[in-house]
Amino acid sequence: MPELPEVETTRRGIEPHLIGQRVSRVIVRERRLRWPIPEDLDVRLSGQRIEAVERRAKYLLIKAQAGTLIAHLGMSGSLRLVDGELPAEKHEHVDILLETGMALRYTDPRRFGALLWSEDPLNHVLLASLGPEPLGDDFDGERLFRLSRGRSMAIKPFIMDNAVVVGVGNIYASEALFAAGIDPRRAAGTVSRARYLKLAEAIRQILAQAIECGGTTLRDFVGGDGKPGYFQQELFVYGRGGEFCKRCGAGLREVRLGQRASVFCGGCQR
């Protein structure tokens, strides 16, 4: 699933091509995504000038004059700019045609993403209860420490909770916990303030680095320019169960936490 850096990479890739451009038409070939695409999306968006392309958690907010298109990439979705005359292939469900002749094309083989319309996106039911952005001023180790008190759940699913902080998915939670030296199985309420301060900084640094690298190339992900990310070569633990730790040489262990595979180093993470 595309995580926050992949979504931010997509945002940065498509933003320069959309800002200030007017939508001429919306072509919907398949409405059956995670939630049905609104029947009147073409009417609402056509003729509108795009004013901003923002991100909230893993949602892209394409802001027009009269409202906002909320886009989620789901498990396998992508948004990229193509020539508006380029024939659509299988799984290329939506084209947002621009007056320039280009099209923002939405592709989603698994159809688990979403394209929704809202006049008040930040208060939309999908966004209203989200926690702070991990790269924003409202997120720090003090917040993690405060919210973790009395919590018996493992620390990895705790930091993946979107009410605690948004956008820390499986890949980057694994990598941040390794960087902070924290065992992902440890109960969130038993981790000290000092270790949470270190963990929050690790989350910030790893997400920022992944964004600069263009995201992580896993399965179907490509950025808004159609190019894959290359943060995968920087991974220390995610997807490396049974391999040797790059830091200490010990064998990496794999367990299940919150129905997700979690790889960690028993020597480096306590």
Q: What is the pLDDT of residue 215?
A: 52
**pLDDT tens digits for range 57-71:** 999 999 999 999 999
Q: Which CATH class is domain 141-265?
A: mainly alpha
The answer on whether 149 is annotated among ligand-binding residues is no
The answer on whether 91 is annotated among ligand-binding residues is yes
Question: With respect to CATH, is domain 4-123 assigned 3.20.190.10?
Answer: yes
**pLDDT tens digits for range 5-38:** 889 999 999 999 999 999 999 999 999 999 999 9
Domain regions of the chain by residue span: 4-123, 141-265
pTM: 0.89
Residue range 148-171: mean pLDDT, rounded? 96
% the chain with pLDDT above 70: 93
Residue range 185-204: mean pLDDT, rounded? 98
For residue 213, name the pLDDT band (cuts at 50, 70, 90): confident
The answer on whether 151 is annotated among ligand-binding residues is yes
- Per-residue three-class SS string for 14-52: HHHHHCCCEEEEEEECCCCCCCCCCCCHHHHHCCCEEEE
**pLDDT tens digits for range 224-234:** 545 544 445 57
Catalytic residues: 2-3, 58, 260
Q: Which amino acid type is present at position 138?
A: D
Element spanning 138, H or E: none
**Of 246, 236, 239, 245, whose CA–CA distance to 266 is shortest?**
245
